[in-house]
Chains A and B, each alone.
Chain A
Amino acid sequence: MCLLNLSVTAEDPAMDLYLPVAHVTLGMGSLLALGLGVGVLSGLFGVGGGFISVPLLMFMGVPPAVAIASQSAQLVGSNLTGYIAYARRGEVDDAMAVVLASGGLIGGMAGALALRVLRHYGWTETAIPLIFIFVIGCVGLLMLFESLRTVIKRGLARRPRVIEPWNFPTRPFRTYFAASHLSISYLVPAGVGFIAGIFVALMGVGGGFFLVPVLIYAFGMAPRLVTGTCFLALLLTSMVSVMLHAVINHAVDPVLALVLLAGSLLGTQMGARLSTALRGEATRLLMALLLIAVAAMLALQLMAPPDDLYALTTP
């Protein structure tokens, strides 16, 4: 039984796009719409959108490795536009971004190699959805509880919640981040970047959903600096991830990435406009529900008895 069948073939063959790396033909319109949707999410929630596009691409018949690698390539373009916007306003902590990216480089390598191993053993079809279910399910539930608690507490007392940053060790390799007025061990942000790098390379997601809360709540960075810093860190991390996917997995489909990026550039504008109409809690609640819905959809897909006990893939 297949819960979702999104294999799209446009009625007009001229509008179809043959993806030479994925070895599938998909409707150009559906790919642009997917990119547009990803862009809307990016503009609305400030995230990369890979957590939606990678599962949807897999549902459309794109092999998981190609979906992840191509989405990583799309992130290069979308993170650059985001970074430029914030850099123009001077809202980027460049030093912090570089340190995060240095960890992201190692994380990206680990993620790309892990994907290689999963692909070799034919586990991508089940391991990637399971990782998605776990990661985005947990993040979605945490966000849901957090936003619901904020809404309830705001209803009881109209006092803004003050969050104390964590006390991270300052040694070894004590580093002072002037823009953020933060003095911590180099290894702390590098470690955070390492985890984000794994997300980018192994899941094709931006990692913003992880980095943004860590930088705000754990590091105590000024929120105005956080988004731009994440864009720069993830731009560098996704570039490394693309290189690794190209060399290790031979899975980057530039055509797919370009179409997704074209759609997302337009969608980001729409999402940014939509975000002004929504309050912060409502946006977070919506995002949480979306993450939970995607995780639930993937879980149902894995829980449904397969049409055939055997599956044929390209190693």
Chain B
Amino acid sequence: MMRALLLSLLALLPVTGRAAALDLFVAPREMVLDGTFHGAGLTVFATAGGPGDLVLVLESPAAPALLTQRKKKGVFWITGRRLRLEDAPGYFAVATSLPFAALTPELKERMGFLPLRREAQLAEAQNRAFTVAFLRLKQRERLYAWREMAIGKRPHHAFHAEFHLPSSVPAGRYRLRGFFLKDGVLAATGETGYTVRQGQIGFALSVLVAEYPLLTGFLSIAVMLMTGLAGALLLPRR
């Protein structure tokens, strides 16, 4: 329903006189993480000022991650080398309407084709295996994705793409960036936001735990004491 409405709205948009404009629309406007959330699709529509191709990059805020390597010590597989990643986004997805091969390295660099661009340490040769492992693990969890030819072209220089957000996506304000290419050259860019938020209880709890740890401790103890007391009264031990 929402998709049909957006498509009809897109058809009404004036396309003349906007040689290099790029407008991005997302549906739904936000996603709520709660017990019923098992992953969802995000639909993106875009309109450009003329014929060309589109690259979309959707990324969540940075989510610190710790990558560890297992090594065999005696009979056990234990934790060996580790790498802490502070700047890597929790979710990162790229979709294009053209083959990746058509994109020059400069364009990829400008678009932020790899989510680890800020991790200078990962560029070091000794950490290359970690980089590859990190991207592989994220892709396995469907938190990172690169999909070429995944953007459909519509009449009036409109585009349509779908992103899948798995159940483990982090909450936060997501950034959707669009790059419109005309004859292989970057002609316009666009950006919009997208919100993934926790359900009310989940949000309140995560804020409480992160921002007010002392209060969390007191409240947890109080709740446990009250529940334990109720249990002792209702179900007394013999």
Chains A and B are bound partners: yes
Asked if residues B213 and A85 are in contact (CB atoms below 8 Å), the reply is no
The reply on B202 being an interface residue by CB < 8 A is yes
Q: Which of A219-253 contact B (CB under 8 A)?
A: 239, 242-247, 250, 252-253
- Interface residue count on the A side (C-beta < 8 Å): 66
A258 / chain B contacts, CB cutoff of 8 Å: 223-224, 227
Partner of A243, one of B34, B78, B137, B217: B217
The reply on B154 being an interface residue by CB < 8 A is no
B227 / chain A contacts, CB cutoff of 8 Å: 77, 258, 261-262, 265
Interface segment among A181-189, A204-212, A302-310: the answer is A302-310
The reply on B173 being an interface residue by CB < 8 A is no
Interface of chain A: mostly helix, strand, loop or mixed: helix
A266 to B213, CA, bound (A): 30
Asked if residues A13 and B232 are in contact (CB atoms below 8 Å), the reply is no
The reply on B36 being an interface residue by CB < 8 A is yes
A104 to B73, CA, bound (A): 33
A142 to B193, CA, bound (A): 60
Q: Contact flags (1/0) for A69-92 with B, using CB distance below 8 Å?
A: 000011011111110110000000
B99 / chain A contacts, CB cutoff of 8 Å: none
Asked if A311 meets B202 with Cβ closer than 8 Å, knowing A73-B220, A250-B210, the reply is no
- Interface residue count on the B side (C-beta < 8 Å): 61
Partner of A305, one of B67, B77, B203, B218: B77
Partner of A315, one of B34, B38, B64, B167: B64
- 15 A-B residue pairings within 8 Å (CB atoms): A20-B206, A25-B37, A77-B231, A80-B229, A85-B232, A122-B68, A122-B82, A127-B79, A130-B78, A243-B218, A253-B209, A258-B224, A310-B68, A312-B137, A314-B66
A residues bordering B, Cβ < 8 Å?
9, 13-14, 16-18, 20-21, 23-25, 28, 43, 73-74, 76-82, 84-85, 121-123, 125-127, 130, 239, 242-247, 250, 252-255, 257-258, 261-262, 265-266, 268-269, 272, 299, 302-306, 308-315
